A and B are shown apart, each in its own frame.
Chain A
């Protein structure tokens, strides 16, 4: 009887220790998950900021200004012919 009880006690202790370790590991993993989620959030924020930056660079007013002033492009008419020949030629 005593041996039986002792072995039950032993199993109980082992189970208790296993519970503690698995809880610990669960928390570790959870923390990792948490950190990765946080990183994902930050990437999302960064993506938003980059998109914002992109659309700021790509405003039509800016594109037109660069096309006209820096690249010396001109607007063709509906038939595809240059409208203002004096600026034609480019660099």
Chain B
């Protein structure tokens, strides 16, 4: 048996002196030191990144997945008193391009895009040849064509959501509603007057987006968008349509230059209708400027003429100097004051105070007016709001001209009694007539719907005076008055016609402003309606030109408001058929 034995010779393996690791102390310390130094460097670096550079790096990281997005808010709507839309914003797409990228499009792509944008390929080339970083190709295209353009995935073509304002009622309410510019800024009318409340405030939020662009988380604070407030106007779009279409027909029929019509609710002072002609279509405002833009009823003052006479008569009644039946001598139909002569178109002889109004005698009203001191008359006109802006908050509203009473001479006092030498806007005139439509208070006007009833105004006349004056106003539209054509079938109405010469270059020209301001119905007034026709060339008397327009507007408005008839039906039968709408 063989017994293996360990070789006895030599040393054991581990004890071999050759293999004895004679590691010198400095080398091991060196390695240890290097390792420590490396570790230390790492710690420093980590400290540097985590603490000192932290904000910068966090920002860089966030920018990879965090996005601030704007949440758009829409502009408030404008609606009428029944909630009918007058102005609405709806989103549209704006197509813009980065020209440098867009130039890489192929010819067919360009052709396609140009077709969709309704421009020629040359125009498109022209746009993207610009040396800019950003160029609008077309603003406010419909969302559908926006989607179709997006589907083409053209290089360098981008879209942006924008709101566009639409005006469903179009030219009918153009002057009162106004319009906005392309960037949601109100430029005219209510759009401008109520810009602050209509304007929405966009919100924003910070989100995390994933690789596919989906929003996966809201982070940080979020500001919700604030949509603009809706504005509810006092306007009644039915009456507005009536006023607008009748005004237009009247201006056409008399070949006039322009016209205005205002309908006011006698109880609340709300403006139910305000129409002007010429008008414009607010949905298509290309090449728009000048005359059609003017909101004449509010921004233009004119010499009103005889429509002021009832105020003079009412003041005389109020002072108790005269009664409705006091005779006034108007013969021979002319009168000279301070070297100037005033005349009546027809001599009337002796008239009662009521007759002066019914026949519209200038001499008669001048004689009544000369019984007042200038100050009394000025105070009357001032209380009625002449010479003061009506403070509707409407852009460009005008106060007209009422000179201080200290400078009045008798001739001026006389002419002012029949509406010359003083200028007012149509809306001021309509407002002044509200004194005859309630028991003697001049009502504050309102563009917006009035919730608080009853509305109180400033008292000018006593209820008794007003009742008597209303009877005089009614006589104007009766046979023998100046405006029989202003009658309304089935209703008692009253008003006063005005035929004023226009001033051109400082002198009165043979051009007229025909007007009629009336109250309906007389027994319990609900409406004040003022119609003004500028420079009619077929006929020029207020009663013949503006009277019929008043009649038709009043008839339609009273019916649409459901006001009960207050006249015997015989009159209705007698009038029917004569003036079909």
Q: Which residues of A contact B (CB under 8 A)?
A: 26-27, 30-31, 34, 45, 48-49, 51-52, 55-56, 58-61, 75, 77-79, 81, 83-85
Residues of A within 8 A of B288 (CB): none
- The CA of A26 and the CA of B143, in the complex, are separated in Å by 32
Closest 3 CB pairs of A and B: A78-B490, A60-B241, A55-B168
Other contacts beyond A58-B84, A75-B580, A78-B491: 11, CB < 8 A: A27-B210, A30-B217, A45-B91, A45-B143, A52-B168, A60-B241, A61-B241, A78-B559, A79-B490, A79-B572, A83-B576
Known: A59-B169, A83-B576. A49 touches B90 (CB 8 A): yes
**C-beta contact mask, B505-545 vs A, less than 8 Å → 1, else 0?**
00000000000000000000000000000000000000000
Residue of A55, A75, A77 touching B85 (CB-CB under 8 A): A55
- The CA of A78 and the CA of B559, in the complex, are separated in Å by 7
- The CA of A78 and the CA of B241, in the complex, are separated in Å by 19
Whether B580 pairs with A78 at a CB distance below 8 angstroms is no
- The CA of A77 and the CA of B569, in the complex, are separated in Å by 10
Residue of B168, B245, B581 touching A56 (CB-CB under 8 A): B168
Residue of A34, A60, A78 touching B572 (CB-CB under 8 A): A78
Q: How far is the CB of A26 from chain B (nearest CB, A)?
A: 8
Residues of A within 8 A of B217 (CB): 26-27, 30
CB of B425 within 8 Å of the partner chain: no
Residues of A within 8 A of B576 (CB): 77, 79, 81, 83
CB of B573 within 8 Å of the partner chain: yes
- A sample of 8 cross-chain residue pairs with beta-carbon separation below 8 angstroms, ordered by A number, consists of A45-B91, A45-B143, A52-B166, A59-B170, A61-B241, A75-B580, A77-B576, A79-B573
Whether B215 pairs with A79 at a CB distance below 8 angstroms is no
CB contact list, B538-581 vs A, under 8 A: 555, 559, 565, 569, 572-573, 575-577, 580-581
Whether B169 pairs with A75 at a CB distance below 8 angstroms is no
- The CA of A88 and the CA of B405, in the complex, are separated in Å by 59
Whether B489 pairs with A30 at a CB distance below 8 angstroms is no
- The CA of A85 and the CA of B577, in the complex, are separated in Å by 8
Residues of A within 8 A of B210 (CB): 27
Whether A48 pairs with B88 at a CB distance below 8 angstroms is yes
- The CA of A31 and the CA of B212, in the complex, are separated in Å by 12
Q: How far is the CB of A19 from chain B (nearest CB, A)?
A: 14
- The CA of A7 and the CA of B169, in the complex, are separated in Å by 76
Residues of B within 8 A of A26 (CB): 217
- The CA of A39 and the CA of B81, in the complex, are separated in Å by 31
Q: How far is the CB of A78 from chain B (nearest CB, A)?
A: 3
Residues of A within 8 A of B90 (CB): 45, 48-49, 52
Known: A52-B168, A55-B85, A79-B572. A60 touches B238 (CB 8 A): yes
Of A27, A34, A45, A77, most B-chain CB atoms within 10 Å: A77
CB of B476 within 8 Å of the partner chain: no
Q: Which residues of B contact A (CB under 8 A)?
A: 84-85, 88-91, 143, 166, 168-170, 172, 210, 214-218, 237-238, 241, 245, 488-491, 555, 559, 565, 569, 572-573, 575-577, 580-581
Whether B169 pairs with A77 at a CB distance below 8 angstroms is no
Residues of B within 8 A of A81 (CB): 573, 576
Residues of A within 8 A of B88 (CB): 48, 51-52, 55
Q: How far is the CB of A74 from chain B (nearest CB, A)?
A: 8
Residues of B within 8 A of A56 (CB): 168
Known: A77-B489, A77-B576, A84-B577. A31 touches B215 (CB 8 A): yes
- The CA of A83 and the CA of B88, in the complex, are separated in Å by 37
Whether A34 pairs with B215 at a CB distance below 8 angstroms is yes
Whether A83 pairs with B91 at a CB distance below 8 angstroms is no
Residue of A49, A55, A83 touching B84 (CB-CB under 8 A): A55
Residues of B within 8 A of A49 (CB): 90
Q: How far is the CB of B77 from chain A (nearest CB, A)?
A: 8
Residues of B within 8 A of A61 (CB): 172, 241, 245
Q: Which residue of B lies closest to A75 (CB)?
A: B581
- The CA of A30 and the CA of B150, in the complex, are separated in Å by 26
Known: A52-B85, A78-B490, A78-B565. A30 touches B215 (CB 8 A): yes
Q: How far is the CB of B179 from chain A (nearest CB, A)?
A: 15
Q: How far is the CB of A39 from chain B (nearest CB, A)?
A: 14
Q: How far is the CB of A61 from chain B (nearest CB, A)?
A: 7
Q: How far is the CB of B83 from chain A (nearest CB, A)?
A: 10
- The CA of A81 and the CA of B490, in the complex, are separated in Å by 12
- The CA of A24 and the CA of B503, in the complex, are separated in Å by 80
Residues of B within 8 A of A55 (CB): 84-85, 88, 168-169
Residues of A within 8 A of B575 (CB): 77
Residues of A within 8 A of B89 (CB): 48
Residues of A within 8 A of B237 (CB): 60
Known: A49-B90, A52-B85, A78-B555. A83 touches B215 (CB 8 A): no
